[in-house]
Amino acid sequence: MDRNSNVYTFIYASGMVILVAAILSLAAINLKPFQDKNIEIEKKQNILSSVNIAADATNAEEIYAEKIVNSYIVNSKGEKLEGNAFTVDLKKERAKASDQQQLPVFECQIDGDIKYIVPLRGAGLWGPIWGYLALNSDMSTIYGASFDHQGETPGLGAEISTQVFQSQFKGKEIYDNGELVSITVAKSNETAPEIHKVDAISGGTITSKGLQNMISDDLSLYNAFFNQKK
């Protein structure tokens, strides 16, 4: 057959596309369980890291099962809802009106004390940022925080996922005289009471401000729940 004829070209292109599609879907279907598992383990590692427990991929599940004693979903009025807190997709929830959202809460037991962990999700400079904030049982003092991002600039915005940055949050308070003030991620020229403030990242202003907005927006959703628990 003439290799330059239209018929040959069409048949060749169609055949190739069908073959490639078949191979790729086969690979995707077969590898999906492994990939989902990795994502689940990573999520558990992130949750644990907010209560300052370092877990690697091999022991995260075990530690998670031991430490996270309870998890549930609440709504913005603080009422408990049915469902599995671990599988709530925050990306979808944040797109809903605030009184429709499912808000996951994880309870972690540390030295006989319960820490409340809430997930956060917001926008950085290049893409989404997310994290977990752990509160002491007074519902105001931060016990720990972990943040991660999709594609912030390495060395600048991406610093939010470092230990140095996250450890600043420990001991800060999100309530001031019963009013939710959240945490200010401050540049050097901004003033805020030391107890409600952490230092922003030099050169990562937009990510820092995105992080600040993420914390204050998401905590305000939980306000009713926190007040109930106090």
Partner 1 sequence: MSDKEPLFSKKNLKLLSDPLDSSNPITVQVLGICSALAVTAQLKPSVVMSLSVMAVLAFANVIISLLRNTIPNRIRIIVQLVVIAALVILVDQVLKAFVYDVSKQLSVFVGLIITNCIIMGRLEAFALGNKPWPSFLDGIGNAAGYGAILVIVGFFRELFGSGTLWGFRIIPESWYIENGGFYANNGMMILPPMALITVGAIIWVQRSRNRKLIED
- Name which of 38 and 98 has its Cβ closer to partner 1: 38
- Burial status of residue 51 (CB atoms within 10 A of its CB: 0-12, 13-18, 19 or more): buried
Residue with tokens 């945490």: 183
Q: Shortest distance, CB of residue 46 to partner 1, whole angstroms?
A: 12
Count, in order, helices (H) and strands (E) of the chain.
5, 10
- Name which of 115 and 149 has its Cβ closer to partner 1: 149
- Name which of 39 and 97 has its Cβ closer to partner 1: 39
Nearest-5° Cα angle at 48, 45 to 82: 95
Task: Please state, as a whole number, how many other Cβ atoms lie within 10 Å of the Cβ of residue 127.
Answer: 10
Q: Shortest distance, CB of residue 27 to partner 1, whole angstroms?
A: 5
- Name which of 112 and 154 has its Cβ closer to partner 1: 154
Q: Shortest distance, CB of residue 160 to partner 1, whole angstroms?
A: 15
Q: Shortest distance, CB of residue 199 to partner 1, whole angstroms?
A: 15
- Burial status of residue 158 (CB atoms within 10 A of its CB: 0-12, 13-18, 19 or more): buried
Q: Shortest distance, CB of residue 64 to partner 1, whole angstroms?
A: 17
Q: Shortest distance, CB of residue 8 to partner 1, whole angstroms?
A: 6
For residue 125, the number of C-alpha atoms closer than 13 Å in the C-beta half-sphere is 16
- Name which of 36 and 138 has its Cβ closer to partner 1: 36
**What is the Cα–Cα distance from 56 to 62, expressed in whole angstroms?**
10
- Name which of 177 and 188 has its Cβ closer to partner 1: 188
Q: Where on the chain is the footprint of partner 1 (CB under 8 A)?
A: 3-4, 8-9, 12-13, 16-17, 20, 23-24, 27-28, 31, 34-35, 38-39, 41-42, 57, 150-151, 154-155
Residue type, 35: Q
Query: Which is it for strands 184-186 and 197-199: parallel, antiparallel or unpaired?
Result: parallel
